[in-house]
Structure 1
Amino acid sequence: MIEIKSWTENFIRALEETFEERIWFAGLQGSRGRGEETEGSDIDLVVILDKLTPADVRIYEGMLDRLPERELVCGFLSGKEELLRWEPSDLFQFYYDTRPIVGSLDGLLERIDDEAVRRAIKIGVCNIYHGCVHNMLYDRQEEILKGLYKSASFVVQAICFRQTGKYTKKQRDLLDIAGKEEQNIVETFLALKEGGQADFEEMSDRLLLWAQGWINRL
């Protein structure tokens, strides 16, 4: 099992040696950032430089290739100005799901207003609706269905945030505050995540109707 604190310290040393004072922000997202990782979980990194060039992308790739557990590394690399001008609805999840290591993302908060959160929910359920119908018609893959339920759990985070004004980082904690339909979505996601059996037809129907309901509500 990776000791993520030690790994990220090694990563930050390599990052500072590579980009020096050009680093505006570095952080950790996903299950490792939330403390919910399993042995094979991705190491989901966020790195924001003062600016980003194609050469920087290649340099960063070479730096990652020299680190242990390279096959698990993924994440987001950007220039500062691009991030500050990013679509606000994307910034909601990005900000709240990122654990800072170097620097701060607080400058994004002024762009994450109620309308940005509403749009995050609307775009999320529209994508889930489309993905669910496509999977039911063409792919019929349980892995895709699991991925759609994972995406839906993130939408539930946004719904609960909009209703309460508080961000709930761990999906399991959503069960204490979400409405009944959203609880059902999160419970299904957690069961699938833990290896539970997928009932493709029933779970697809339920997810489609849930997404449909939110599309028509917003």
Structure 2
Amino acid sequence: MQTINIEDYVNELIKRLRLKFADRLIYVGLQGSFRRGEANENSDIDIMVTLDRLSVADLDSYRDVIAGIPCFDRSCGFISGQEELKHWQPYEICQLLHETKDYYGELRPLLPSFGKDDVRSYIGISIGNLYHMLCHGRIHAGPEQRAEALLSLYKAVSYILQNSYYLRSGEWIMTKAELLPLLHGLDREVLQMAMTMKSNSEYDAEKAYAILFDWCRQFFHDKATE
């Protein structure tokens, strides 16, 4: 797997995007594990790009640009038009704003405002989706499919816990390693399992499933007693 200097990669991408889109390029940012300093040799390169407007032809042009840079098979991220971003769902804005590092332009003025109720919505919607997928997969998927799905589902855990801690404290904690000692109980247990799975260490898949299931279920039980 090719080693990536993420700063060189983003700078080269910006140069090529400016050549392709000129003053239509509004914003470029970095997200994901490279943004958090948690990337490994298998990590995707999560780039956020905003154009003044976005067409199907623009999507094809963007694909051509990133295909001309090494590691196209690891390229990922989020591209949008400026107007779409302006009216994005508020419950996703807290995560988007804190997760993204500005490289070209500034993200905050491009986004709608958000409040605590929006962060609560993000947490509730995300955990509800996890709970549904855990139940559905247990019934309808085979063992191999369930194992692959579990890895994917655990990726959402740190995002939910980041938002939850931010809601309680007003402080955004960027990395899992920084967040872990601030948590207790099932929150800490589920994040520790997410970190174990991310590091490709051995783990008990049944235990991992049970931890995530119990964590999701506990969220709804806690809501019932509020």
Percent same amino acid among aligned pairs?
Answer: 30
Give the structure 2 partner of residue 206 of structure 1: 211
Out of 182, 187, 192, the residue aligned to residue 182 of structure 1 is 187
What residue ranges of structure 1 are gaps of 5+ in the alignment?
none
Structure 1 ranges of 4+ moved more than 3 A: none
Q: Which residue of 2 aligns with 1:79?
A: 81
Report if the CA contact (8 A) 1:126-1:211 is conserved: yes
Aligned residues: CA RMSD: 1.5
User: Which residue of 124, 135, 138 maps to 1:136?
Assistant: 138
What is the Cα deviation at residue 138 of structure 1?
2.3
Instruction: Pick which of 138-147 and 151-160 moved more.
Output: 138-147
Give the structure-1-normalised TM-score: 0.94
Matched, 1:215 2:217: no
Give the AA of the match of 2:165: C
Q: Distance in 2 between the 1:7 and 1:108 partners?
A: 24
Amino acid at match of 1:207: L
Q: Normalised by the size of structure 2, how large is the TM-score?
A: 0.91
| Gap regions ≥5 residues in structure 2 | none
Aligned pairs for 1:4-153 (under 5 A) are: 4-107=6-109, 111-139=113-141, 140=143, 141-153=146-158
CA contact (8 A) 2:87 2:111 kept: no
State the alpha-carbon separation in 2 of the partners of residues 169 and 79 from structure 1: 27
Q: Tell me, what secondary structure is at the counterpart of 1:28?
A: strand
1:147 aligned partner, one-letter code: S
Amino acid of the structure 2 residue aligned with 1:89: Y
Q: Is the 8 A contact 1:25 1:103 kept in 2?
A: yes
